[in-house]
Structure 1
Amino acid sequence: GRVVLNAPSSGKAAAPSKVVEKDLSGALAATDFTRGLLRRETVWKWLSLSAMARPPMAASAKAAPAPAPYGLHLSTGTYDFGPGGASSESSIFFRDAAGEPAFDFFDAANVTFTQLDTAKPKTESRWHVAGPGGLDLTFTPHGGTFHGDIHLGVIDCDLWHMWGTFRGRAPARGPAGSTDAVVELDGAPGVLEDHYSLW
């Protein structure tokens, strides 16, 4: 797979059923291209977000740094080739305390995705995502959700794909980072996915 987060974007977006146009200058984009041979039975959870976030403050800094592009891409249950079963595609894109662009892999082997509103359909429920490095996020769906449902005996698929926003704390570096190296997110746009496949 290949992931691109925090790519500056420009242009306009328009919905076919509406006359509203949205100016995308200054927006951040994320793409996720996956190509691989997955297990016969695959269960995965996935999230991706790109937002402006305030980076960790350097000990010598006199003032808090300005918000900078931040991206988080986490998956569990697929591409789990890293130490302890961590997904090889889980990654963080951020600016470090010196303001330099940085990238780090993230150990998603111990990340949990929990549906909070179990009485609601998955596409309408809030979700909690927790893990190492101070990861503590709540995801709220805001429409544009998709539920793929295929049951053909030898092929079985349930896919819940939800667009929404994330709120909480996320690590600014990978598993070697300390828990105080976090960014605060509030209303960060992104996607969360819960997928079961038998193929």
Structure 2
Amino acid sequence: QMSHSPTAGTASIKGKQQICITPAGYDWQLKLKGERLNGKLTLQAGPAPQPLALCTATGYNGWTYTQKHNALKVTGSLQYRDKPLDLSEALAGYDFSAGYMRRETSWRWGSISAQLPEGAFGLNLACGVNETGTTENCLWLNGEKQLLGPVSISLNRQHSTQPWQFSSADNRINLQFLPQQCRQERLNLGLLASNFRQYCGEFSGEIQLNSGKKLKLDQIPGLAEDHFARW
């Protein structure tokens, strides 16, 4: 079951690990129930939320909408194997996307929600979709959103443990992602197909703020994804 909106409705997954997500405006409430992982969490956007939200033309007559928000404060409780986890420094993000995309679509993506010496830092970088006159690339620092230009994301699909490169023509972004754990799925159903790989790993390098100051990232945990879909 999917939510009809990033700010209302409910999305849920049932099974051994149950997940229920209920947006409450720009805050998201998350309930987890399973053999190992249980909890009730709230992702708090703060009093003046600044999510990324855009809708772009796709292909001949399609469209793509996305709303994303990273580096959100996490409150509530979370237990793994009945042991409570410390959430005092926890940050999280959400990604809501919908639309009528190209028959064959592929994208590469990177995401960070982490504490830096400068404060709560979030990053969203993508190439392959939402690039008709704009991009979905941006960063958040202590709740303030800063838009970024197009990025190039390169990787070696035959050697998936090698580092990925994230770079921009304006030289504001120069990051390396070292992949570690991988979640993947490969389906070929004829008319429909999916080749999905999402990695946990670490980002290192530099990214420049609007002020000109450069943030240095040194083995900061994050996600990266490489996906092909035919739908």
- Normalising by structure 1, we get a TM-score of 0.73
Q: What residue number does 1:194 align with?
A: 226
Q: What residue number does 2:53 align with?
A: none
The CA distance in 2 between the partners of 1:119 and 1:40, in whole Å, is 25
Q: What residue number does 1:104 align with?
A: 146
1:35-90 residue CA offsets vs partner (Å, 9 max, x unmatched):
12211111111111012234xxxxxxxxxxxx2111110111111122xxx42x22
Among 196, 203, 209, the alignment partner of 1:159 is 196
The CA distance in 2 between the partners of 1:3 and 1:151, in whole Å, is 29
Among 75, 90, 94, the alignment partner of 2:137 is 90
Q: Report how far residue 21 of structure 1 moved.
A: 4.7
Partners of 1:134 and 1:171 within 8 A in 2? yes
Partners of 1:10 and 1:26 within 8 A in 2? no
Tell me, which stretches of 5 or more residues in structure 2 are unaligned?
1-65
Provide the aligned length of Structure 1 versus Structure 2.
165
Query: Which structure is higher in helix share?
Result: 1
Partners of 2:127 and 2:153 within 8 A in 1? no
Q: Report how far residue 187 of structure 1 moved.
A: 2.4
The CA distance in 2 between the partners of 1:33 and 1:148, in whole Å, is 20
Indicate the SS of the match to 1:142: strand
Q: Report how far residue 181 of structure 1 moved.
A: 2.6
- Normalising by structure 2, we get a TM-score of 0.64
Among 131, 141, 160, the alignment partner of 1:80 is 131
1:141 equivalent in alignment to 2:206: no
Among 46, 50, 62, the alignment partner of 2:109 is 46
164 and 19 in structure 1: CA distance in 2 versus 1, 3 angstrom threshold: farther
Amino acid at match of 2:129: T
Partners of 1:133 and 1:182 within 8 A in 2? no
Q: What residue number does 1:169 align with?
A: 206
Amino acid at match of 2:180: H
Amino acid at match of 1:106: L
Cα RMSD of the aligned pairs, angstroms, is 2.2
